[in-house]
Amino acid sequence: MKLELKHIHLRDPFVLADERSRSYYMYGTTGKTAWKGKPEGFDVYRSEDLVHWEGPAPAFRPAAGFWSDRDYWAPEVHEWNGRYYMFASFKAEGRCRGTQILVADQPAGPFVVHSPEPVTPPDWECLDGTLHVDEAGDPWIVFCHEWLQVVDGEICCQRLTHRLDASIGEPQLMFRASESGWSASGKAGNRVTDGPFLFRNEAGELRMIWSSFDKRGYNVGEARSVTGRLAGPWVHEPNPMFGPAGEDGSLRSGIPAEGGHGMLFRTFGGQLLLAIHAPNKHPDERPAFVPVKETGGKLTIGG
């Protein structure tokens, strides 16, 4: 049976537009077990038109003895040297949340454990790892150091081996949520950083979208690296590009008023889309695709 997005209970959607198969593959946090219960693993949905989806099909099922038993979050799949690598966050009692790397020969999987352990620091509470390849062709993981541990949520980076099976050197701080100018503190003084996703605009600038909360809700912001490198410094757009605090995202007909944890992909026809879950309210969250365009070097809602 073909499904529409409104029938798919998924957070943190990530879409891989696979040129080999000319198909779109969508992964994400299973809504049912996002916050409670033991997850089965990760599923994948496949589509040729972004409207009708086949699935869910199992993409990853942990082998006996796998260390994590909760919080299977935010899987992303990236092609690297002819194989497909899933970056996903996991948690267990007495162990810090971390991003581990899985691998498969096909975008639908099955994915198996590739890095023996999470590649984020073992004593840090981390989530939402994503792949970035720098100007020298070296791979990095960009990830969030959680507010649960640092209060003012951070986005950090760390080099990876070319096999993507371990990290190299020490993690580097890129920026804190409070530096954005729009992220607001919660009741405990915390500021959230979620879902970093890096890209280069038409001018070749290195940019990032990421999510946080302001007083009105969950938003997607945009930042630019002044040097064009991960080390930055990073300058933030004064207003989020999407969400209740965004410039116009909540005012357009047919576009969700609130949502986040975004990533960008192009359709096979060349249209740029922002993938988010909306609303950011359990159990109502669903994947949504929002047309975006580049205006003056930055992203704006609308296609």
pLDDT tens digits for 119-138? Answer: 999 999 999 999 999 999 99
Please give the torsion angle defined by the CA atoms of residues 60, 66, 69 and 73, in that order, rounded to the nearest 10 degrees: -40
pLDDT at 188 (0 to 100): 82
pLDDT at 80 (0 to 100): 98
Reference 236, options 207, 256, 216, 258; nearest CA is: 207
Residues ≥6 apart with Cβ < 8 Å to 55? 3, 8, 43, 44, 45, 46
The token pair that represents 123 in the structure block = 């004593």
> How is the chain split into domains, by residue range?
5-301
pLDDT tens digits for 240-254? Answer: 999 886 654 444 556
pLDDT at 213 (0 to 100): 95
56 secondary structure, DSSP code: E
Query: Low-confidence residues of the chain, pLDDT below 70?
Result: 245-254, 303
Reference 126, options 160, 100, 93, 94; nearest CA is: 100
Q: Which helix (H) or strand (E) holds 150?
A: helix 147-150
CATH topology for 5-301? Tachylectin-2; Chain A (2.115.10)
pLDDT tens digits for 71-88? Answer: 999 999 999 999 999 999
pLDDT at 246 (0 to 100): 64
Please give the torsion angle defined by the CA atoms of residues 301, 259, 38 and 47, in that order, rounded to the nearest 10 degrees: -30
